Structure 1
Amino acid sequence: MFAQPAIATLNHLLAGSGWAQPRLAKFAGKTAQFRIAPFSIACIVGEDGLLSATEEVVSADAVCVLPPSLLPRLAFQDESAYSQIQTSGDAALLAEIFYLSRNLRWDAAEDISRVTGDIAAQRIVQLVTGKHRQMRATALNLSQALAEYWTEERPLLAKPEQVAGFVQQVDQLRDDVARLEQRLARLSSGK
């Protein structure tokens, strides 16, 4: 149910790029499985570099397991999110999948221009891109403001300097207690 639209979208992106299909065609006949709870998509790479859905495979050549919470971060090109994807299987195929996910872009203006014409499509894309940048900047500003509020105004989070100071105080207390125990042991044995 979910596999067909996802694979059709990926094939549209691959076909529109011009460079991605030949790169993926090197892996013709190999299977890749993407597990995004509660969905699982299995696909096979064709000779032409396009993907086609396949039945759930017991042992795919490459497997990527993504927590659903990671999808927004990947959509915003958060590089640290890639390290949280669990992978297994063919390292070369996985490397190509990650390369494509980082570099494959949708030419929205091309698709929209079929309906609205070139100039209107460009304006729509510029508007959406501007709004996307604005949303991203707003989210960043909001997160910075909340972090400052929770560390300065209503201390819910500790600053790294405060944590380091606390750890240093705990270490000092531990050392003082150890010295006191030694002193008490010497005094009690000297009786």
Structure 2
Amino acid sequence: MLALPIINHLIQQNRETQAVLAGYNGIVVAVNAAGLHIKGRFNAEGFLEASERAADAEITFQHSALQKVLQGQTPGVGDVALAGDTALALALLPLLGSLRYYANDDLSRLFGDAVAGGISARTAQVAQTLKQIGQSLMGQLGDYAREPEAPVITREEFEAWTAEVDRLRDDVARLQARMDKWASSPPPQMMK
């Protein structure tokens, strides 16, 4: 099962959480989210191992929880369902929710600290640029909708705007492809 190594990698990156999860040695937990079902038994190191035993506690993240997380919001009580030992599920929920992925750690291990810092900085710049473009477009559409006598745009104006949006999307895709190619190329050799 591919999900267990991924979860264990997250646990490994979050040492404080790993230490607490080690205290649940022998407990079997099942987590359901976005059609993914993960079940495992905590070992003495705090990692999950495959287990055929029934789950002691089951945590199900509803679709609404995932939507809220993607929007930067915190899921509420109605976004999570607990089954089995609910007290145990309530104890595990914040621990599992605290797991964070630190991509820079993996990039540093693969490419070295300098290259990883460059990749992270460029990725952050692209993300910020895309966010600004989206906010600008939404702001312009909002301003346009608020005008009481907003003129109706012509088909040619709309097609020109659509072509510009397509051009920007293509530019961003080319930039992302270049960044991916750069990130996958071997690091430069150091002179001895």
**Identity fraction in percent:** 25
Aligned to 1:41: 38
Shift of residue 69, structure 1, vs aligned partner: 5.8
Aligned to 2:110: 115
| Aligned residue among 4, 28, 36 for 2:25 | 28
RMSD: 3.2
Moved more, 103-112 or 80-89: 80-89
Shift of residue 40, structure 1, vs aligned partner: 2.4
Q: How many angstroms apart in 2 are the aligned matches of 1:32 and 1:62?
A: 5
Aligned length: 147
| Aligned residue among 13, 16, 19 for 2:13 | 16
Please state if 1:6 is matched with 2:3: yes
Aligned to 2:94: 98
- Please say if residues 28 and 39 of structure 2, whose CA atoms lie closer than 8 Å, have aligned partners that are also in contact: yes
Q: How many angstroms apart in 1 are the aligned matches of 2:77 and 2:145?
A: 28
Aligned to 2:60: 65
Aligned to 1:53: 50
* CA 1:16–1:125: 2 relative to 1, 3 Å: same
Secondary structure of the structure 2 residue equivalent to 1:48: coil
* CA 1:149–1:123: 2 relative to 1, 3 Å: same
| Unpaired stretches in structure 1, ≥5 consecutive residues | 154-191
* CA 1:23–1:77: 2 relative to 1, 3 Å: farther
TM-score of the aligned structures, taking structure 1 as reference length: 0.60
Q: Which amino acid aligns with 2:2?
A: P
- Please say if residues 27 and 93 of structure 1, whose CA atoms lie closer than 8 Å, have aligned partners that are also in contact: no
| Unpaired stretches in structure 2, ≥5 consecutive residues | 149-192
Aligned to 1:168: none
